[in-house]
Amino acid sequence: MSANFPENINLFCYVCGKRAFSTNTALLTEQVERAFKLYFDSEIIRGVSWVPDKICKTCYNGLNIWIQGKRSSLRFGVPMIWTDPGEHNSDNCYACANKICGVNRKGLKRRVYISVKSAQIPLPHSDEIPIPPLPSPDRETSFSIETMHHHLEYFSKQLASESDEHGERFHQVAMPMETRYKGKRLDSLVAEI
């Protein structure tokens, strides 16, 4: 993770790189991540300070509508490409190169965003960057299997760090609850809550 990276990187959309006002942003949900992976054949980078953790509602809605099969394509075929800039340097900082302080919404519509070495702006569809096929059950299944393998790998790594003590503590907490509600119907459980 880069040290001293400016917090205003989160003012930009992860997908298109444009300024995203707080009223026009959305979190990266699992469905949007899945659509991103299928559309761009790329993973979303998470947990680092040098990429935004939100997307604009235009990209959010576009990806959601595309994965539902109701839209044939997005405006571009290659999203923002984020790479680790290392130590903060204003010449290699997307937020510094695209200063947006004091610019209103109207001014942002005409704004031309600048690429830097660590952040390349999106590229439109072309002969070299074709429109991907609409999602199909086959593509979804293969993606689900890949996701499952990823979770299994993560789980097996985490398993070593968990001890029998954790399991025993969980069992001690869960056992009284299990005994209390054993044999009760769901509606009676909800009534108690």
Q: How confident is residue 61, by pLDDT bands cut at 50, 70 and 90?
A: very high
Count Cβ neighbours within 10 Å for each residue of 128-137 and write b for 16 or more, e otherwise. eeeebebbee
In a domain, 127, yes or no: yes
For residue 102, what pLDDT is reported? 64
Q: What is the mean pLDDT of residues 21-47?
A: 89
Query: Are 98 and 145 in the same domain?
Result: no
Domain extent at residue 183: 140-192
Query: Are 42 and 104 in the same domain?
Result: yes
Q: Left, alpha or beta for 4 (phi > 0: left; psi -120 to 50: alpha)?
A: left
Residue 15 has pLDDT above 90, yes or no: yes
Query: Are 15 and 42 in the same domain?
Result: yes
Provide the whole-model pTM: 0.66
Task: Please write the tens of the pLDDT for every residue from 75-119.
Answer: 999 999 999 888 888 888 888 888 776 666 666 667 788 899 999
